[in-house]
Amino acid sequence: MATCPTCSLHYDAAATGGPCPRCALAGALTAANPAGTADYEFLGELGRGGMGVVSLVRQRSLDRLVALKVIAATGDATGPARLLREARAAAAITHPHVVAVHEVGQGESGAFIAMEYCEGGDLRARLKQGPLAPRAAATLGLKLAAAVARAHALGVLHRDLKPSNVLLTGTGEPKLCDFGLSGSVAGTASEHTRTGILAGSPSYLAPEVLSGADPTPALDLYGLGAILYESVTGRPPFTGDSPAAVLAQIGTTEPVAPRRLSPAVPADLETIILTCLAKDPAARYASAHALWADLENFLAGRPIHARPPSPAGRLGRWARRNPALAAALAIIATGTVAATTLLVERNHQLHAALARSEIAEADARLALRDSLFAQARGVRQSGRTGQRHEALRLLRASAALAGPTAAIRAEALAALALDDWQWGKPQAVPHLRFSQLVGFDSALEHAAVPAADGTTIEVRRMRDGQVLRHLQTASASRVRETRYAPSDAWILAESEDGTQAVWAAGATVPHWIHQPAGIQYVGLDFASDDSGWWYTTTGNQLMWCDARTGTGHPVGDPGTTIYGIKPSPDGTRLAVLRDDGLELWQLRDRQLLWRIDGDVGSAAPAWTPDGHHLITEAYNGSPQIAVWDAADKRQVLTLRPGNMRASRFAMLPDGRRLLSLDTDSVLRLWDITAGRELLRGQAGPHGLRLSADGRQAAGSSSFQQLARLDLAPLDVVQPLGFALGQNSGLWRQAAVSPDGRWLVGQSTTFLRAYDLPQHRETARYRYAAGKTKALAFLPDGGLLYSSPTLGIRRTRLVDTPAGPGWEDHAELAAPGLAQLQSIDRAGRHWLIDRPDTNGVWLWPDGDATRATALGSADSTIIQRLSADGRWAALLTTLPATEARLYALPGGERQAALPVSGATLAEFSPDGEWLVLGTAEGFSIHRTSAPTQPAHQFKCPVPGALYGYSTFSPDGRRFAYMHELSAVAFAQPGEWQPDLILTLPHEVQRTAWAWAPDGETLYILSGRNEGYALRPAAAAAALDQLGFTPPTP
């Protein structure tokens, strides 16, 4: 980012080529109209092209937003001439669906045209989100056809109709713009065309343009057809790798029928579109009005006048593409009885040609399907906003061509695992200033917006922007910020002179007013129970106001400027952000707990939902986001957002994700447990508030635009938010309690308990480091864990007044004497490694006195019991590398199965199947006949975590690591994966455990990450997308 030395605007110098856009605009306006230049206030750049720049400006005299197109003087008169031609053409057309022209001028610095501002963007950007519904597309086409008919009636051709030249208002109404290539209805081919420079965009050019034919109204009919085509299919009629490839198709190739790309398109609408796109101008509609009439007939349910091509017409088109065979066919048709043999031969040739055409078309459909799929994967991996929605749109288009393949289904599930957001329909507030912040109620249905006069507040409805009431302030100064109380009982506002006011819900006059002296910035916020609010008074003294009495009470002593205040979620502490540091206060006795000196920014702090951590900005040579431990003020995490400072924080209820808004209006989503930026996108500067469930936010989608932000739900692959600052090493074991409440993970040094209903880590226990061997819950809720440094221990998770914790850590076997390797579901059989006897033993009910020897500990590397207690598997290296199967309780060896390299063993819950996994793939054996594998398959990526696999407790699902970031689910006995869930990030090491009901598989990955995988939710999501696999 660069800063203009003249006007101090921050702008992207690379995008503008160096000059400041505000000053460049002012120069153009001054040269064109020196007296009137002050009437335009630069607000931002809307777009930039090869010939000029379009800016958003405010026309002060009429208090309206205007789009200003400026073409700089370069010595070439083509640009200004085209701009003036556009202005004159558009100004001649008065129509509700043509962009209005307000003013035009030309001077030494360039030419400009002031036009109506359409806040909804253009149709091309809208279609990137997905095709329109057929009726919506027809309605849009009806309005555009009416606008074109009006232009033709006035003798004006547009000649460059395409989605990017259709602007949308805030309510979605279309308006035609960019008449820069326009000409008269009775005109001839332009000089551009005569010299070989094609007027228009290649994908939307009519065939007659290629031959240099004089333009006619049929040219615009083709453009309208191209717009309709893309509106219902999501792509232009012709696409290619280069403009030349597109142009080669226009004259010789028929567009793919819309219903082949989108089966939901009605046949009549397809006929209307293809009539507009006819190669022969004479075969199109006679006029734009005729097209308008047919679209009106379609929308009203009446018969349309256009007819699909007859068989003869289709044959004619085929003949133009295949002239040699067409000539032969003509000879046959005019032959005599003596030519019967030739007729039969030529018919064979004709059928063969048609068959080849059908094969080529099928190949093209498959190629398009694969291309859309590849594009979807690229979008999914792009890391930009809209990645999830755009990838799913492309996958739907791909599936429409040849059905939902397994790859499409897997890619769709990978998209559903992504964090993403999407702005809703914006509400324009043209009078908002950049520095004004807007408050939103808890339901995100209303906003308290500073009014145009600057000193009153409008309570607006977010759905339609309607102003419901005005709040009167007690200050002549401009309102700087508003906010709602947590339960919407109060609205609070701050003015630029420091005046603070509070209104009760529904009131229009203030309930409380405070006017301090000599302070510029004030910190304001409500108590979490709406019992009062904190405010700032003279001398930067922090105060508490009781809502019942309206009286103020000091908190601490006066100090430096207060920028932000935030109470903890439980209401017991208060974080105060001052100009020179961060303070944490105990509210019960109003005592300062601690203080951090330094530059911690000006954005109000945020708390994690559990109240354990605070988030602020921290400046250390460059802007950073700091996460502080509220207990001891340690900085446990640093996030680096770039070069711009933060203006807003919002912590999501999952305790894992954080939204931050930069001063340059970049919105970022962070995973603070992993220290990773998940997503970023452009937003506006006017505030941010989350819904209680964290699935929506309200804020500004851009400057002077208020909107809702939908955060994509993560229902298929749900991340788990573990506690911050716990570098406990890689996960090695995981287990879920019988009641489904606790997920416990084990590393070499820690036990960490995650409360699944509360979605947060609640207890941890550190012990002497050692390679863990087993972690298992007993049916009574007791937890067994083991390592060489621990022996075997038993503990239990319990609720205490201080919160969840460990009941005890009883030693069942001393370190060095015994290590637990595996245990069955009922806790009846324990598989034990005894270093003192160099043996592997089976302990019935954990009783060492009734032990049965199974093998040598020295040569055994992996040991596993089946959940039903009927089988044991030992992976040994001496005298050979093999998997040995033992029947329990007697311990008789049933088989010795040769294996290669590192191998993991897993039993199905009923003991019917034994799965041996290696770095290369899986071998599946029936325990009743184990010698020969019943099924084998290889991993798509060899080395994917060395053959990890697991069965659900009910035995209905088999899961295995498919790739380094993907888990495949299959039905036991079938083994072919029916679901593949891709994690957002590659796993470093896997520990996993099923919920008792078998509906969720929990995966612990890396050092501080975990995920809940829900295969049933994944299948339901695919069904909802229409990706249900065909029935065999």
Binding site residues for ATP, as ranges?
Answer: 69
Please say whether the beta carbons of 847 and 813 come within 8 A.
no
From first CA to last CA, the distance across the chain in angstroms is: 57
Q: Indicate the SS3 state at residue 126.
A: helix
Structure tokens at 132: 């329109």
- Rounded to 10 deg, the angle between the 406-416 and 387-402 helix axes is 160
Query: Which residues 6+ apart lie within 8 Å of 846 measured at CB?
Result: 812, 827, 830
Task: Quickly tell me which residue has 């109240």 as its tokens.
Answer: 611
In this structure, the strands spanning 552-554 and 1001-1005 are unpaired
The sign of the dihedral angle between the CA atoms of 127, 130, 136, 142 is positive
Residues of 381-407 as b/e, b for ≥16 C-beta within 10 angstroms?
eeeebbbbbbbbbbbbbbbbbeebbee
φ and ψ at 11, to 5 degrees?
A: -150, 165
Question: Looking at 53-140, which runs of residues are DSSP E strands?
Answer: 53-59, 64-72, 101-107, 110-116
- Of 1032, 1030, 1021, 991, the C-alpha closest to 411 is 1021
Rounded-to-integer distance, Cα 859 and Cα 786, Å = 20
- Of 849, 851, 828, the C-alpha closest to 778 is 828
Q: Indicate the SS3 state at residue 616.
A: strand
Structure tokens at 466: 């309607």
Question: Looking at 683-759, which runs of residues are DSSP E strands?
Answer: 688-690, 696-702, 705-711, 717-721, 733-736, 742-746, 750-755
Rounded-to-integer distance, Cα 130 and Cα 110, Å = 38
Rounded-to-integer distance, Cα 104 and Cα 68, Å = 9
Q: Indicate the SS3 state at residue 239.
A: coil
Helices (H), 702-803: none
Rounded-to-integer distance, Cα 320 and Cα 235, Å = 25
Query: Annotated binding site: which residue ranges?
Result: 69
Rounded-to-integer distance, Cα 797 and Cα 1005, Å = 23
Query: Which residues 6+ apart lie within 8 Å of 8 measured at CB?
Result: none
DSSP string, 635-650: EEEEE---SSPEEEEE
In this structure, the strands spanning 525-526 and 512-514 are unpaired
Consecutive H or E run containing 367: helix 340-380
